Amino acid sequence: MKKYLIVGLGNIGEKYQNTRHNIGFKILDEVAKEHNVSFETDKLGDVTSFRFKGRTFVLLKPSTFMNLSGKAVKYWMQKEKISVDNLLIVTDDLNIDFGTIRVKAKGSDGGHNGLKDIQEKLATNKYPRFRFGVGSNYSKGRQVDYVLGEWTSDEESQLIERLPKSVEVITSFGTAGLANTMNNFNGK
């Protein structure tokens, strides 16, 4: 049975719950809801798993805070014996328009501290990632305030449409493969 580790990046705590930086957590919550599973607190994060079309998906929301996500990713990859090819990191991206999906096989950290830490801990930038666009509607020097800011009511209503598509991206990654997922969802 093929096994996949899907990691949603975010920050723990109520004050971060509805922030743009926590889209990884929000997407994994939607996946869990769709597959009728609940997260449990475990070592270095909240974890759950489900089976779908002969695959096992392990969902992880690290409790290490965004900038130290690599420790949790590496631990759960080793614990579950999951290769880097079967790892998918779900994160926000300021350089992509709000709601736009971009799945890639590898890449730079793009200035994202969570991705930077994962790259350092795994000693590679060749791991699949699912970037969810949060846009760049902020003033110069206000990037941190923007990503740690809460969704606008307009964004919230659009998220209702975008979250089910994000669930499809994750299940496609495990069932149809990375290349097909990129072809079917990138830019959508």
Q: Which residues are catalytic?
A: 21
Looking at residue 14, what DSSP letter applies? G
> Strand order of the sheet with strand 45-52?
40-42, 45-52, 55-62, 2-8, 87-93, 129-133, 101-104
86 is in an annotated binding site: no
Residue 1: how many CB atoms within 10 A of its CB? 6
Closest among 93, 86, 96 to 109, alpha carbons compared:
93
Backbone φ and ψ for 73, nearest 5 degrees, come out as -60, -50
| Whole-number Å distance between alpha carbons of 61 and 123 | 21
138 is in an annotated binding site: no
67 is in an annotated binding site: yes
| Whole-number Å distance between alpha carbons of 182 and 99 | 16
146 is in an annotated binding site: no
* Binding site listing for tRNA: 16, 65, 67, 113
**Binding residue positions:** 16, 65, 67, 113
